[in-house]
Amino acid sequence: MEILESRLNVQSATFKENAKAMEEKLALLRERLKAARDDRSEKAYARHTEQGKLPVRKRLELLLDPNTPFLEIAPLAAWEMYDKRVHGAGIVGGIGIVEGREVMINANDAMIKGGTIYPMGVKKSLRLQQIAMENRLPCINLIDSGGAFLPLQSEIFPDVDNGGRVFYNQAWMSKMGIPQISLVMGLCTAGGAYIPAMSDYVVHVKKTGAVFLGGPPLVKAATGEEVTAEELGGAQVHCQQSGVSDFMAEDDADAIRIARQLVKRLPKFPKADVTRVDSQPPLYDPKELYGLLPQRLSVPFDVREIIARITDGSEFLEFKEQYGPTLVCGWAYIHGYPVGILGNNGILFPDSARKATQFIQLCDRDGIPLLFLQNINGFIIGKEYEASGITKEGHKMVAAVSTARVPKLTVVVGGSFGAGNYAMCGRAYSPRFLWMWPNAQIGVMGGEQAADVMITVKNDQMKRMGGEGLPEDQIDAIRQAIIENAEEEGHAYYSTSRLWDDGILDPAQTREVIALGLAAALNTPFEERTGSTVYRM
């Protein structure tokens, strides 16, 4: 492969200004991640300690193999939602290494509202299950939850993607042969009682763990019977009488010890067969990405500069370099894993969409995972381009992205707007993972473009009715309101709060995170790669 030659001037004033702006964004990201990790009330901490429980991060530390990475999913879910204190949607989840193998971990944080489940907590649990199912990862549930947050029950209970879907997914994971281990470390009540009941293995902690469909207050209200949580659904009840639980643990640490033993004896699954090479670092410092990224999305930059800072040896075999230049396609390795990379260098024209379709089909046929680097305003529009088939070529690209059977990973490195989001494998196109950089923005279109469209439509309506169009002061007011709304709902934190992505990344850590994502994705063998012929044009 050829080595990419960087043209980035790291001594320029622009580079230094960009780097300073990105450092400020990263300082804010670190501050918010720390709050999500540590912001717990003294009362909640004291109650947790009195019960003899370990904090959720300590539980994770004991569960994971020492000095191994943990790929946390959506750590800022529910950011600034509810009362701004439901950090991570009340769940710590992600992919870690236990007894030498990758597993999916879903852990309630009982120091946040007693582990009560909020609507975004349901959505996060479903996302973690989706990742486990797509990547064939054993699941470990650390359960410590008071059940659904009842004031928002209408957003939790009845719909297809609400709480009941968790148990539906559990049934399917069981049918797929994906092992599920549940550790009952606190309350596990109402519908949540089905989580351990539908697991393959249940470890139940004495005195603190309790499983029941209706808790003591509900039992008293319904039957008049007075009973404690331990008498109703404690470890002795379910290990000695009901048979719901399989192992009785003395405390949290003992439960985690048992869980690790269970993981150790799980059968090994065959991995996808890809040709790996020895890993080597990029020739250019990944931190130089800070100075590459402009402070305004409207300022272009060459996506090859990103590729040069995330690929092994900064090597990249570019496909059709002189054709469809607004989309860069080519092959590389990241930590020894082969990838086919698609990165935006402008809006999508018919030729760039056509090139993408062919490249995606080639990678899919050859079993090479796809990496999309999104910085896209959308497809070119206008009379000339409609006549030249932009809609047809865009459809082909979208179809190729939709049906590719190899793992797809997406990083939004700049803008992600309109149909460009779809064509470059946005959330709706099921990438195995999708991350955003702190500077990223997402929406149907940018604020300025949206404002221009709305003003034009309004003016046309008024003129058709015999008016003269909007006065300047109203135009300015409309423009400002639309731009402000687009900025509020389009920034990376708004996206990650609502689980439109799997987390916001430090650009310099992107290479490592992609490698972890690829390693997880290879737990699922690729589907048989048969199908239609690769279309050149």
Residue 504 CB burial class (10 angstroms; 0-12, 13-18, ≥19): buried
Give the C-alpha separation, 423 to 445, whole Å: 15
* Cβ atoms 437, 293 nearer than 8 A: yes
Q: What pLDDT, in 10s, does the model give residues 332-351? A: 999 999 999 999 999 999 99
Average pLDDT over residues 398-418: 96
| Amino acid 489: pLDDT | 84
Average pLDDT over residues 435-448: 87
Q: What pLDDT, in 10s, does the model give residues 446-485? A: 767 777 777 788 877 877 877 777 788 887 888 888 777 7
Three-state DSSP class for 309?
A: coil
Q: What pLDDT, in 10s, does the model give residues 267-321? A: 988 889 899 999 999 999 999 999 999 999 989 999 999 999 999 999 999 999 9
Distance, CA of 391 to chain centre = 29
Sign, CA torsion 221/224/226/231: negative
Q: What pLDDT, in 10s, does the model give residues 163-204? A: 999 999 999 999 999 999 999 999 998 878 999 999 999 999
pLDDT at 442 over 90: yes
Q: Which amino acid is at 250?
A: E
Average pLDDT over residues 199-213: 96
| Amino acid 63: pLDDT | 98
- The CA–CA distances, whole Å, from 364 to 95, 217, 357, 399, 406 equal 25, 56, 11, 13, 6
Q: What's this model's pTM, rounded to 2 decimal places?
A: 0.94
Q: Per the structure block, which two tokens stand in for 64?
A: 């994971």
* Cβ atoms 216, 232 nearer than 8 A: yes
Nearest to 524 by CA among 201, 274, 266, 260: 274
Q: List all residues 6 or more positions away from 430 whose beta carbon is below 8 Å from its beta carbon.
A: 134, 408
* Cβ atoms 211, 257 nearer than 8 A: no
| Mean pLDDT across the chain | 93
| Amino acid 531: pLDDT | 57
Give the C-alpha separation, 283 to 410, whole Å: 23
- The CA–CA distances, whole Å, from 483 to 418, 420, 446, 453, 478 equal 16, 20, 8, 12, 9
Give the C-alpha separation, 279 to 139, whole Å: 29
| Amino acid 530: pLDDT | 54
387 vs 472, more confident = 387
List the alpha helices (DSSP H) in 51-137.
56-63, 119-135
| Amino acid 425: pLDDT | 98
| Amino acid 477: pLDDT | 82
